[in-house]
Amino acid sequence: MPTHSTFYTITGSAFLAPGGTTSFVVPAGVTSISVTMDGSGGGGGSGTTTANGPSPGGTGGRGARVVQAALAVTPGETLTISGGTGGAAGSSSAGGTGAQIQLLRGATVLMSANGGGGGGRGTANASPCGTVPNPGAPGTNSGTGTGGTVTTGGGSLGGAGTTTSTGTVGSIGDVTIDYTANIY
C-alpha cells in the first residue's frame, strides 16, 4: 500500500487596522500564529502664532509595539481585534491619548498595546518684550502592553502638532498576523 508523504505548505499574512472592531478567522491547518501589534499614536497638540513667532503644539507619542512569535490557535476559531483609534487632534488644547488595541479570544484578552500620549498645546507667554512662544511638549511614547515582547514607542505614529488651533489625529493601531499551515 503506498504512503503519502507529500504535503502542501500554505503561508499567509493578514494586516488589520480596525480603528474599531474586526475579526480574523484562523485558516484550516493553522495551529500557531505570529502576531505584531502596534498601539495607536497620540493626537497632535494645537498651537498658535505670536508676533514673535510660531508656538507649535507637540507631536503625539507613538504607541507600544507588542510581538508574540507563537500564539496557539485552533483552525476555524474567530479572534477579535478591537480598539486602536488614533488619539484625537487637539482643538485649542493638547492632543488626546491613542486608544489601546486588543486581540481577544471571546472575552479573554490575548494581547494588548497601549496608545501614545497626546502632544501638548502650544501657548504664548506674556513678557516685557511682548508674547513669547511656548511650544507644546511632545506626547509620551507608550511602553505598555501585554501578551508578548513590548517595545516602547515601536507602534503607530503620533499626530503632528501644528501652529493653528487644531492639531492632527494620531495614526490608528494595527495588527499583523502571519501563519503557516502544512496540509497533508
Its pTM stands at: 0.88
pLDDT in tens, 74-102: 999 999 999 999 999 999 999 999 999 99
Task: Give pLDDT tens digits along the chain (184 positions).
Answer: 455 555 677 788 888 887 789 999 999 889 999 999 999 999 999 998 877 888 899 999 999 999 998 999 999 999 999 999 999 999 999 999 999 999 999 999 999 999 999 999 999 888 787 778 889 999 999 999 999 999 999 999 999 999 888 999 999 999 999 998 877 6
Q: Say if residues 170 and 156 touch (Cβ distance below 8 Å).
A: yes
**Comparing C-alpha atoms, which of 33, 28, 41 is closest to residue 14?**
33
Distance set, CA 21 to CA 51, 82, 166 (Å) = 46, 4, 27
Q: Say if residues 110 and 146 touch (Cβ distance below 8 Å).
A: no
